[in-house]
Structure formats: C-alpha cells, structure tokens
Chain A
C-alpha cells in the first residue's frame, strides 16, 4: 500500500506564473488535507477536502489559491500568479475520514518562486 504521493517534489516558478501541486491519497482514503510550511514557521492548515467537496477552506488565502479533489484522480492545489511569499513547502495528508484516525503525510512539494 503506497503512502501519500505528492508531485512534483520540487517546483520552481517565476513570479506571475501558476503552480499546480498534486496529491494522491493512500489507497482507501477519501479525505485530504493541505498544509503549508513557511520557512521558520510551523505547519498551517489550509484546506480539507473530500471527494468532489471542499469541507473547510478556512486556512486558504482568499485570492489566487484554490483546491479540488475530483471523483477521479489526485487532489490539486492551484496557486495562480505566484509571488515570492508563496515560496514554502506544501504538504498533503490523507485519512480514511473517520474520527480518531491517524493522518498520514506525503513528502511535500517545495515551491520556490523566483
């Protein structure tokens, strides 16, 4: 059973470009969480999704950021018109979705905006 898979592992974008980060949850997991880790900061919750539904996006910046988890395929975190402040490590976690369950994290995507 493969773990949570994120790609790409490293992504470089110029200011103003779009960044697309992908996350494939563990097999059997239908709940996905995205977190951001800024340099010298702790991980911060961004968004919680189930298949085809955004459950909680309270941690997501209001502009330029969006997330989806389609019926088929990976979850996508999309950042439009990237700025230098978006440079961070973005982590995805998945769980079976029940209460009291353990969250499993991917290796992260390290986004660098130049």
Chain B
C-alpha cells in the first residue's frame, strides 16, 4: 500500500528565505507526482506535475524534483513571500485507472513578513 510522508509538518521562516519541502513515498511504481497548495477553508490549487520519466519541473519561483528510484520529491520555493503561506500537499498517482491520488498530510508553511 502506497504511503506518502511529508517533512516537516510545519515550517515558519522569515520573508525572503529560500526553502525546501520534502515528500517521500513507499512505492516507486508511480506515473506522476503532483504538488498542490491549499489555503485555509479552500480547495486545492495544482502547482507542479512531474511525470515519472521527468526529473524536475519549474514554475516561477517554484521548482520540484523527483527521484523515483529513491521515492523522494522536493519542492523548492525561492525568495519566499507572505503570500506563499499555505499548506503544501504532495500526491502520487499510481495510474492504471485505480486508486486516484495518494496524498501526504502536508507541510503547513508560514512566511513571516
């Protein structure tokens, strides 16, 4: 059974710092990995999707990497801003039309002004 773990569970840093969020998964047989952002009381916003054949994806100040063989992904946020404060979720998709996404519990990020 696939399990996804995110470390740290919570993180508070001053504005302007670069930071790394970690995600690990137990079953490396995945089709893709997706990073989401969730604001309090809101839905999920997709940030980056990495296919299993890819090593990384970039969007603006965000960069996500994937090491499928070791079951790890990182989300790098450059020059953090207070507006980046949210919960960041990592999810893996096994594919084959089954199970949907398996989510981690998230990293609750606070960027101090």
Contact = CB atoms under 8 A, between A and B. Distances in A.
A105 interface: yes
Interface of A: 6, 33, 35, 41-45, 48, 55-56, 58-59, 91, 93, 99-100, 102-108, 110
B24 to A, nearest CB: 14
B100 A105 contact: no
B102 interface: yes
A69 B100 CA distance: 16
A33 B101 contact: yes
Contacts of A106: 43
Given A42-B104, A42-B106, A56 B97 contact: yes
Interface of B: 4, 31-32, 34, 36, 41-46, 49, 51, 89, 91, 93, 95, 97-106
24 contacts: A33-B100, A33-B101, A41-B105, A42-B89, A42-B104, A43-B89, A45-B100, A45-B101, A45-B102, A48-B100, A55-B98, A58-B99, A91-B44, A93-B44, A93-B101, A99-B31, A100-B95, A102-B46, A103-B46, A105-B36, A107-B43, A108-B42, A108-B43, A110-B41
Given A43-B91, A56-B100, A100-B31, 10 more contacts: A35-B100, A42-B89, A43-B44, A43-B101, A91-B43, A102-B46, A102-B49, A103-B93, A105-B44, A108-B43
Closest 3 CB pairs of A and B: A45-B100, A107-B43, A105-B44
A99 B95 CA distance: 7
